[in-house]
Structure 1
Amino acid sequence: MKRFCLALDLKDDPALIAEYEVYHERIWPEIAASIREAGIMDMEIYRISNRLFMIMETKDDFSFERKAEMDAANAKVQEWETLMWRYQQALPVAKPGEKWIFTDKIFDLKLQ
């Protein structure tokens, strides 16, 4: 199993943030299916203010490149991503076109 932690910002608008959270109370079934089919075993999203943190646990053979290919070929995923971008904004450090950005692990209790 592999773990990835990523970050993204929401637009700093309380009404938009509330709408975004409502969508995530029960995501579309096709989106949940596409996440699982890509080899993601668990996914959690946390928020503080307008900053989001996603924690993903995946199968060992999971690939972000393969997930991107699957997403590009899935019209429902494209519809979801377009809708979510209404609420999201890139982190200040993001390169053009980047959304979720990998975070750097700086501490692990198991290694202490």
Structure 2
Amino acid sequence: MHRYTFALDLVNDPVLIQEYEDYHQNVWPEIKASISDAGVLHMEIYRFENRLFMIMDVDQDFSFDKKSEMDANNPKVQEWEKLMWKYQQAIPGAKPGEKWVLMKQIFEL
């Protein structure tokens, strides 16, 4: 198993933040299936103000390229991602069009 962590910001609007959280209390079953099918074993998202932090544990066969290809070929995932852009904004330092930014581990105990 391998762990990845990511950061992303939400549009800093309390109404939109609440809507985003509401969607994540009832994630579409097709989205959950696509995450699992890509080799993600466990995923958590945390929020402070408009900053999000995601932990993703994956199996030994997981690859970002494979997940990207699967997502690109899944109309329901594309619909979800388009919808989520209403609430999300790139974190400072992100590349153009980049959403979740991979974080670098700097400490472990």
Provide TM-score, normalisation by structure 2: 0.99
- Residue 38 (structure 1) aligns with: 38
> What is the alpha-carbon distance in structure 2 between the residues aligned to residue 86 and residue 71 of structure 1?
19
Deviation at 1:48, TM superposition (A): 0.3
Asked whether 1:50 is paired with 2:16, we answer no
Deviation at 1:60, TM superposition (A): 1.1
* Residues 18-40 of structure 1: per-residue CA shift (max 9 Å, x gap): 00000000200000000000000
Structure 1 runs, 4 residues or longer, greater than 6 Å off: none
> What is the alpha-carbon distance in structure 1 between the residues aligned to residue 90 and residue 67 of structure 2?
20
- Residue 100 (structure 1) aligns with: 100
> What is the alpha-carbon distance in structure 1 between the residues aligned to residue 77 and residue 62 of structure 2?
18
> What is the alpha-carbon distance in structure 2 between the residues aligned to residue 62 and residue 77 of structure 1?
18
Task: State the secondary structure of the residue aligned to 1:86.
Answer: coil
> What is the alpha-carbon distance in structure 2 between the residues aligned to residue 60 and residue 67 of structure 1?
13
Task: Give structure 1 stretches of 5+ with no counterpart.
Answer: none
- Residue 90 (structure 1) aligns with: 90
* Residues 1-52 of structure 1: per-residue CA shift (max 9 Å, x gap): 0000000000000000000000000200000000000000000000000000
Aligned length: 109
Task: Give structure 2 stretches of 5+ with no counterpart.
Answer: none
> What is the alpha-carbon distance in structure 1 between the residues aligned to residue 6 and residue 100 of structure 2?
6
RMSD: 0.5
Provide TM-score, normalisation by structure 1: 0.96
Q: Percent identity?
A: 64
